[in-house]
Structure 1
């Protein structure tokens, strides 16, 4: 018993010694701060903060996220501010900061929405500058930007310094400030859809034929993918590439819609509409994230929300950044075996309205008859 009591006393006295020592250390630290006027601990901000590139080349008319930042272990959060916006000749830049209404999401879009109303309930219009820097340090050019609001790069592809918009970026936290100078904004003119191989990106006019660019009678086209599509008169596989364009695609507005329509049209080699029912294996109800399908003998149409796709995620209608459509049909080949052919397009449409995607079989009609 006496031995246990000694241990208890020793532990009690030892604990008192430890607490006394800790208190002394705290008093010493406080005294040192007062005596030597030590600064409060601050965040770290690196002088080596930088971006992968300071040249920003957004396409007007679509929401673009730009700029990859390296914070070099700086303490987060950081605050970003665009300062000293100017042209290369010193004139102030103001057009980038005009405010317009843009779509902002309130809830996550997942591609499972069952109506336009359900989609629209997840987002709202908000007044924002056309170009701004986000809390993450990324820059954003909103889809409300247009050729009329922000003048794009010159049509002659010149890159004169007086035409370039410059700005500096002030980055701060409690540890200090870093100023990154001479970012450049060199916007491309609007291209309301992708693929846009049929559009000259400098002028917005028809793109020349890549194999004969000086010939005014030739042009480039949007090209679909094709699988096992056989020509009616040639019995050869149809192609769509630089050398041979048996099938091409037009993405173009049409009149008479509701302002929220997307239509699919198929033309034969004479330019006449083909009945969509010919593509008898197509899953029309799963083609796009659209509603109220209307199918006639000349087209198939849906009510849709723009842009298409609405966000860059994988859904049954997309492959991430693009919407995807596939049209297929079957027929009996030699020996009575069922043969399936398909064609389609990965695409995006940025501008709201009534749009049709037209597949034109220019070289030969597809073969639907059994062997």
Structure 2
């Protein structure tokens, strides 16, 4: 779907004239509208031009206007890269995370779905220069008394430390009275700047990650099967910085432990991915503390794959335009072989009678 957006411009502009726009302009002139002499209506797909007109009309504060404008610019830049460099279409053998990473177009209505703004001191990576879906997990150590630890975080973290030590070929040497915290490799820029007490383990202690659409939620295939991580990272996606607030780190595991067990729901239908443990810095300024935080959560997709299941993000079913695809059919049509209208109707009927609906 390509919307038609018309804006006023000087009649001498070299932008091609849209016949419909000319008809509208003539109708406005016939109805006695003032101030349109010498103007033309031109079609535009430039979100910045549209935003500037809207922001000016409603009186948006200049700093906020510039910030949102930057998000639009980033979104267009990264969406353009996604269209021009699509991933391979997933198949039945593709892991669940591969289906999520296959999303090309994404959110159908969010104007800044593809925004990727790296907050200084993280460098402003151009699309294609850094693979956000395949980052590395790094490790830092913080003094124990500088952290708030919820539940058995260190116990659940141990498989990651053992796997990273195996990668490095030697055991981690953890400073005394310190706790190891897993971090996104890009977040090291913020950690070094904001926390002078941080100890960063050498790069040899690392693990490969597979990132979900949120970028900060990551699968650790070499160490976790039924768990995954949520990591704070200083990147703005869809107008939200993907760090973890102290409140979220505190509440999540407690909600999972104390509220989820007593919720009234059909547990044969709804499965909650509980947050099991967390860590966050004690800095009294939450805007600083949120840059040093991590959550360990359940990951039901991993064990499900051992049973031949695939947990597919619904958005990915309607995606199209993947690399290597011979047509523009959405994935749901191609993968489920819905090559006739009757097959599509039958599939939709089965989909809608799931008890979850």
TM-score (norm 2): 0.25
- Structure with greater proportional helix content: 2
- Structure with greater proportional strand content: 1
Looking at CA atoms only, which structure, 1 or 2, has the larger radius of gyration? Answer: 1
TM-score (norm 1): 0.24
